Structure 1
């Protein structure tokens, strides 16, 4: 339990609480929840306890009024009164920024998303004993019970309130105060004010405390005004009201007794914080009792604040006292200074264990915590600095210097003192800023406060360059600037670099600014909403530099953009940047540069997604095609993206297209069909025709799929013998073989067109292969024919091994019809004839090895896909086996393994004919 030290204070002869002389104080633990500390007082004097006569019928308020009537004070002379009135009226002018101008900023700045609670003390419902006695005795009894009820009422706690709910509750209390007052329930009004004042001792959601202070003191101001106007209204004699600058002698006894009554009620409040705030709220009422009442109360209230343990609560209590002090007695500067000096004495508490533990519990960092003090300290210093001499301001600055970790105070000094005073000592302030601890209060905020002063008043001319150099050292270290700061810097650079095209000589520096901005701003919606960012890019008039800057921006976007976007701000800005890169391409542009630009643009295209708005997505691709038509890789990417869009539509519709989605996928197919011919790479076109035809087929666009496949067939004759691959010329046969094998796989499921005849696409492709000019030393033509046999063999099955969903292939259309099978057999015979003719041409000595390899390859094809129960085909296979071994070029191991495979197959059901075949296939050894 703490010990209270008695501090004798002289409050003057006419203070309303003068009769209660405290000579010894000791702590007494109170059982009632919510009270802080209270004292039981005993007096060694013979002064009567004002509450001891509670039952004897004597009104203690009347006794106090008789014992300490302030009217008996000798009035000052008229000249002194006029001088004092003049000082009061001229003390605060229009150049003093009022508290009301700061209120909105504090409420907007200090907010929270955490849940708040509020304690409401409901009136006690205990019954009142009715006893016979004098009217005066009953009046005293009722009054004392009401006063006791102020603190012993039942408590109601509202939990989990949002910030807005909390503010609404406070506003309800404010309205309840006005309602109680208007209905002449003065005690209830006082109870509401006490309840609200107690909330200022609660710092459980500490970041909201400044806003809470604003809301609660609004209620206190209302209460103080109501009490003052109530007493003032009682001073009317013969319908003549008191003048504005009245003296206590003009106040009648009834008004004085009522005023004393209010002070006595407040004196009975046990808790320190509500007692302080409520008395401070009616401080102006001392004017009704004594001319020196205010000047005597201010030091006593200042000393009362020393009993508040929490430094944040204490500094706001001092701010409130300074506020009411400036309103009622602005000429009493000594009280203001005393409040500030007391705060300096307790400043080290901010870095003490108690506060640090509280911050750990609430997960609040010390820099954020220190900013909570700013409104209170700024106000105290503003009051002190108003019309203060330079000597006092210098003393304040020197006292702040002596404290460690004084950045918070230094910032408030620069915010409150006159700009001329700060500017004249700018180098001194810079030296103090440099000594401050960066971890406590950010230095950039200190330089901001200094800069605001230097914008209003010029520093000494000899110091200006040094000031800039010192500030710039800090500015260059700043990271994560906000949108407003970035926009301000860019706007200022544009302003200074635009005249006389000065930017042409500073491209490296301007490029560095862009790189720094995109290094620390990853949110491109925020970046492109910076008003001056795109105008800043327009200063890069030199094309090569402009393209490099655009590439930097696109690289940053691709690296940091995590999710697809449809933000119109981002899309418009990046389309402009990509268009700038695309338009720089000309006939002299290197292929590597084209690839780099195309890769960046493709990265942007892949990050654009309008979700389920597929039509908007297609419109974007159409616009991109028109903008980037000179970069072939971008067009390829657009075709792939549109095909993917069509398949996504199919997935969403689960393959069952409506009239609208069917029209949409046809539009996607049309986009691809129109775009593919503009490409220069023939194999890129072939593969895209095949890919797009597959997408059209999957979406049941059969006529469009036929158009893609026909285009692919007609393009095969244009395939050159040599193509460029990674800058080197290579034969195209291998690429053509790979494409045709993929094409054959697709043709299996493509249904015949009813007007084009049986297997019209296969026939057309075979004709193209036949007419194509193949290299003499290449066997790719035979390998292609062999793959055609694979396709024709698969087509003879009653049910194909794979299908396209909701597309009827030829197995369904023909159902194993004999005419269809006959056509396949004719084609097969033609293909076999072509293969055998080619084998004959390889009978020369230099091509015997190729003949052996092809004969064995063809034998394997017949073995896998042919019906060897057919005597002609069986004999053909034997001939091919012998041809492969005829000249000794066959691989013996391979031939042995093949024969073993045939023997294993012969043991399977319905494969007995393989036994006869195996007996007819001799193995020849090399001799």
Structure 2
């Protein structure tokens, strides 16, 4: 009898959805619940019940209407078997993400979807496959992105706080929440046109605090590093200097923990490329971070260099030295009277020190130390099997000094000539590149105040391959 009834209901629901209003659909749902609750008859009718839900979702794309049917959520409660219930929740979320055009703050929709997403999240356990976790996280993140309380930023942050405690076991959702909170801080800055009031300044600090306590709970080390950097950049943009410092210091102390190999989509890969990319990005941010009045010159740059110095790099790798060469570019940029870029309303070191001779002397000292380390490394590459690497690195340092160095300085001038000769010494240099480099020097020498390049050119012989 029960099966005849539910088979009929499955067919009739489509007719009701197409030709009647939500009131009649609600009546049919109510009737199905009444028939199938006694003796848990619903347990034998899951496929038909799933089909009923699918037909209702096909016709009702307005979720405010759907969730205002008082029997819709009780109908979902009949799916007692967890795997079936999760499938139904996923199908509802899929339709919501596909069909919902506008951002929403409707409490009826939010409460219902929060309940549905919580059901999906709570189904995750130690045996859940990574693919399943990923698909659940995509749906929940999609929901989070669709929620907007307009200009009520405090309410928005409260929603993100609730979502963090509700979805704490799905890492991609936590990452999405950190991005959303940083975006909220930037929205606040935009609304205030960069001039924070006491209230909005406290609010963006609350956003920074949210990120600062959420990031350590992530397991992926590169997610943590990149989010510390991004949150630090966001704090800096909002003139929260002590918060930005805290993010950057946290990132510096985390670099030590980067493992040699990381898991990417199930395969073990070397982490060095990712670390290099992160460090270069980090150094370019550190150019505009003002020094702390109680710390030394470029204290964050020095802190990061100390960590890089102690990090155990792969054998047969020149990564550390390539970073040092990039830091020379940073130091050249840091010694300019006016920096290449700034953060609005934040005084960088160009304004703080105003090209003070002591500041410039500190930069020069640091640059000399780095060049010394690079040259020591070049010496270790003098064996047959590493001569090609030696040639490439010597040319790289040559180009850096050519672009960023003061070649009227005799010592530096002599160093560039030595590097040029070293790059060609064993026949590993690419003649085309060397010729193009000489052409570039020749062009530069024609500019006013660059005639010393003409002298330099005469001292850079081009060795033939023979």
For Structure 1 versus Structure 2, the TM-score category normalised by the shorter chain is over 0.9
* Residue 91 (structure 2) aligned to one of 552, 561, 565: 552
Q: 1:286-305 residue pairs with structure 2 within 5 A? A: none
Aligned equivalent of 1:795? 334
Aligned equivalent of 2:465? 926
Aligned equivalent of 1:746? 285
Query: Hey, what's the Cα distance between the residues in 1 that align with 2:19 and 2:396?
Result: 68
Aligned equivalent of 1:674? 213
Query: Hey, what's the Cα distance between the residues in 2 that align with 1:486 and 1:848?
Result: 79
Note if 1:482 corresponds to 2:21. yes
Aligned equivalent of 1:633? 172
**Structure 1: 5+ residue stretches without partners:** 1-467
Judge conservation of contact 2:137–2:173 (CA < 8 Å) in 1: yes
> CA offsets per residue over residues 100-149 of structure 1, 9 Å max, x none?
xxxxxxxxxxxxxxxxxxxxxxxxxxxxxxxxxxxxxxxxxxxxxxxxxx
1:925 Cα shift?
A: 0.9
Judge conservation of contact 1:480–1:521 (CA < 8 Å) in 2: no
Aligned equivalent of 2:152? 613
Note if 1:765 corresponds to 2:304. yes
Note if 1:588 corresponds to 2:134. no
1:882 Cα shift?
A: 0.4
SS of alignment partner, residue 340 of structure 2: coil
Note if 1:654 corresponds to 2:193. yes
Rate the CA distance shift 1:475–1:826 in 2: closer, same or farther, 3 A: closer
> CA offsets per residue over residues 448-473 of structure 1, 9 Å max, x none?
xxxxxxxxxxxxxxxxxxxx999998
- Compare the two structures and name the one with the higher helix fraction: 2
Judge conservation of contact 1:547–1:580 (CA < 8 Å) in 2: yes
SS of alignment partner, residue 769 of structure 1: helix
Rate the CA distance shift 1:688–1:910 in 2: closer, same or farther, 3 A: same
> CA offsets per residue over residues 218-267 of structure 1, 9 Å max, x none?
xxxxxxxxxxxxxxxxxxxxxxxxxxxxxxxxxxxxxxxxxxxxxxxxxx
Note if 1:712 corresponds to 2:242. no
Aligned equivalent of 1:400? none
Note if 1:737 corresponds to 2:289. no
Judge conservation of contact 2:10–2:49 (CA < 8 Å) in 1: no
Judge conservation of contact 2:13–2:28 (CA < 8 Å) in 1: no
Aligned equivalent of 1:774? 313
Rate the CA distance shift 1:474–1:515 in 2: closer, same or farther, 3 A: closer
Aligned equivalent of 1:916? 455
Judge conservation of contact 2:182–2:234 (CA < 8 Å) in 1: yes
* Residue 76 (structure 2) aligned to one of 537, 541, 546: 537
Query: Hey, what's the Cα distance between the residues in 2 that align with 1:760 and 1:501?
Result: 68
Query: Hey, what's the Cα distance between the residues in 2 that align with 1:759 and 1:919?
Result: 38
Aligned equivalent of 1:692? 231
Q: 1:41-440 residue pairs with structure 2 within 5 A? A: none
What is the TM-score when the length of structure 1 is the normalising length? 0.49
Q: Compare 480-489 and 517-526 and name the one that shifted more.
A: 480-489
Aligned equivalent of 1:877? 416
Q: 1:857-872 residue pairs with structure 2 within 5 A? A: 857-872=396-411
> CA offsets per residue over residues 662-683 of structure 1, 9 Å max, x none?
0000000000000000000000
Aligned equivalent of 2:43? 504
Rate the CA distance shift 1:480–1:609 in 2: closer, same or farther, 3 A: farther
SS of alignment partner, residue 724 of structure 1: strand
Judge conservation of contact 1:689–1:712 (CA < 8 Å) in 2: yes
Give the structure with higher Rg (CA).
1
Aligned equivalent of 2:203? 664
What is the aligned-residue RMSD (CA, Å)? 1.5
1:801 Cα shift?
A: 1.0
> CA offsets per residue over residues 528-560 of structure 1, 9 Å max, x none?
000000000101111100000000000000000
Aligned equivalent of 2:142? 603
* Residue 856 (structure 1) aligned to one of 379, 383, 395: 395
* Residue 572 (structure 1) aligned to one of 76, 99, 111: 111
Rate the CA distance shift 1:537–1:776 in 2: closer, same or farther, 3 A: same
1:732 Cα shift?
A: 0.7
Query: Hey, what's the Cα distance between the residues in 2 that align with 1:840 and 1:662?
Result: 52
Aligned equivalent of 1:724? 263
SS of alignment partner, residue 256 of structure 2: helix
Query: Hey, what's the Cα distance between the residues in 2 that align with 1:839 and 1:472?
Result: 77
Judge conservation of contact 1:480–1:520 (CA < 8 Å) in 2: no
SS of alignment partner, residue 749 of structure 1: coil
SS of alignment partner, residue 718 of structure 1: coil
Query: Hey, what's the Cα distance between the residues in 1 that align with 2:10 and 2:76?
Result: 24
Query: Hey, what's the Cα distance between the residues in 1 that align with 2:232 and 2:8?
Result: 68
1:726 Cα shift?
A: 1.6
Rate the CA distance shift 1:469–1:520 in 2: closer, same or farther, 3 A: closer
Query: Hey, what's the Cα distance between the residues in 2 that align with 1:562 and 1:797?
Result: 49
**Structure 2: 5+ residue stretches without partners:** 1-5
Report which structure shows greater RCO (CA 8 Å, sep ≥6): 2
1:621 Cα shift?
A: 0.1
Judge conservation of contact 1:676–1:685 (CA < 8 Å) in 2: yes
Aligned equivalent of 2:366? 827
> CA offsets per residue over residues 198-219 of structure 1, 9 Å max, x none?
xxxxxxxxxxxxxxxxxxxxxx
Aligned equivalent of 2:54? 515
SS of alignment partner, residue 683 of structure 1: helix
Query: Hey, what's the Cα distance between the residues in 2 that align with 1:681 and 1:758?
Result: 32
1:481 Cα shift?
A: 4.0
SS of alignment partner, residue 554 of structure 1: helix
What is the TM-score when the length of structure 2 is the normalising length? 0.97
* Residue 783 (structure 1) aligned to one of 304, 310, 322: 322
Query: Hey, what's the Cα distance between the residues in 1 that align with 2:407 and 2:354?
Result: 24
Aligned equivalent of 1:808? 347
Judge conservation of contact 1:842–1:848 (CA < 8 Å) in 2: yes
Judge conservation of contact 1:579–1:627 (CA < 8 Å) in 2: yes
